Amino acid sequence: MDFELNEQQRAIKSAFARFSDERIAPQAAALDEAHAFPRELFKELAKLGLFGMRYPEEDGGSGLALTEFCLALEEIARGSMSVAACAAMQSLMGTKFLHMLGNADIRERLFKPALRGEAIGAICMTEPNAGSDLDGIATSARKVDGGYVLRGQKTWVTSAPVADFFTVFAKAGEERKLTIFLVERGFKGLSIGRAIEKMGVWALPTSELSFDDCFLPDTHRLSRQDGDGEEHLRKTLAEIRIITGAMANGVARAALDAALRYSAERKQFGKPINRYQAIQMKLAEMGTELEAAAQLVSRAAWLRDCGKPHHKEAAMAKLFASETAARVCDQAARVLASYGYAMEYPVQRYLRDVRFTLIGGGTSEILKLVIAKELAA
């Protein structure tokens, strides 16, 4: 594999790096403090074509590959993990199943406006008693004349308070297998529950959601047949893991950059602290591990783009990148010492936000099980 970026990839990386530096980073702290969805930046990212980057041109996208998308998303995460997470949800999980399975009306009314930033999508999988255990999902969809009646509860729904539509995984059919449904805001029986206060990514609203005999017309069963939801989800999981790895690399780069700047400016005992071996060793380890994480994510994305087997590599990339990012952010805080603990410096935000990447796309423990199974196959 050639890791050298081509001209188009360099242009994409440069454009989003500039946008991150000029538009996202200066607002990141204020957005977090306001605990507000970044609507203005969200619309600007739509104008830059981010949400449609992975979709065909005939459907309103630009037909680019996962590699290009990861380059853009890493730069966005370098500016703000909250903004990157909003963008990732809109670009993949919130819209993919509408594009893949929705009819012409759904694509025109919801999918295409979502690519333009005019509608916001969310996905509903996790439940109070079901996270990694998909079999534990209890939300049910009962068939009735003309549609389905949805009943159940979801939690940890990203963008729920602001979303216009929701992709919902529920049990349906005689065998009660996972099936994919579309619920639109305003449907009777849909309730947005309490907001979940989080340790980090404060500008990414997250809430509970409930369905109390929520009627859905037949057109809103996205699955081709009852029970095919798990198959579609597993095909998407690898992409989710790769882009989560890209976001982890972005926040880790921000943390390393902050540590490099601070250690060059901060003087103790007559010289900058980056002249001391204890600090140099930290910086060297941070840089080396981050480079390795970047290579793993790049290779996994490349394999996906080439249509080659990539599920093991996606799990490895996400596992290593997220754990590396957590270490890099921790070490950056140690380099800044007391100032790494101060709210006036962004390192404390990186340290809080990076934990988001340890959860999204599967915990490290689940990923290790996936990797071990693939290795033994």
User: What pLDDT, on a 0 to 100 scale, did the predictor assign at position 130?
Assistant: 85
d(CA 116, CA 47): 7
User: What pLDDT, on a 0 to 100 scale, did the predictor assign at position 3?
Assistant: 66
User: What pLDDT, on a 0 to 100 scale, did the predictor assign at position 205?
Assistant: 94
Number of H helices, E strands in the chain: 14, 9
Digitized pLDDT (tens) for each residue of the chain, 377 residues in all: 556 899 999 999 999 999 999 999 999 999 999 998 999 999 999 999 999 999 999 999 999 999 999 999 999 999 999 999 999 999 999 999 999 999 999 999 999 999 999 999 999 999 999 888 888 899 999 999 999 999 999 999 999 999 999 999 999 988 889 999 999 999 999 999 999 999 999 999 999 999 999 999 999 999 999 989 988 888 899 999 999 999 999 999 999 999 999 999 999 999 999 999 999 999 999 999 999 999 999 999 999 999 999 999 999 999 999 999 999 999 999 999 999 999 999 999 999 999 999 999 999 999 999 999 999 98
Amino acid at 335: V
Spatial neighbors of 286 by CB under 8 A, at least 6 apart, are 252, 255, 256, 259, 327, 328, 331, 332
d(CA 270, CA 59): 61
First vs last C-alpha separation in the chain: 24
**10-46 confidence digits (pLDDT tens):** 999 999 999 999 999 999 999 999 998 999 999 999 9
The CA R_g of the chain, rounded to the nearest whole Å, is 21
Is 325 in contact with 252 (CB distance < 8 Å)?
Answer: yes
DSSP letter at 200 equals S
**213-247 confidence digits (pLDDT tens):** 999 999 999 999 998 998 888 889 999 999 999 99
Furthest-apart CA pair in the chain: how many Å? 80
Q: How many CB atoms lie within 10 A of CB 287?
A: 15
Spatial neighbors of 38 by CB under 8 A, at least 6 apart, are 27, 31, 80, 82, 83, 86, 203
When the pLDDT of each residue in the chain is averaged and rounded to a whole number, the result is: 95
Spatial neighbors of 133 by CB under 8 A, at least 6 apart, are none
User: What pLDDT, on a 0 to 100 scale, did the predictor assign at position 175?
Assistant: 84
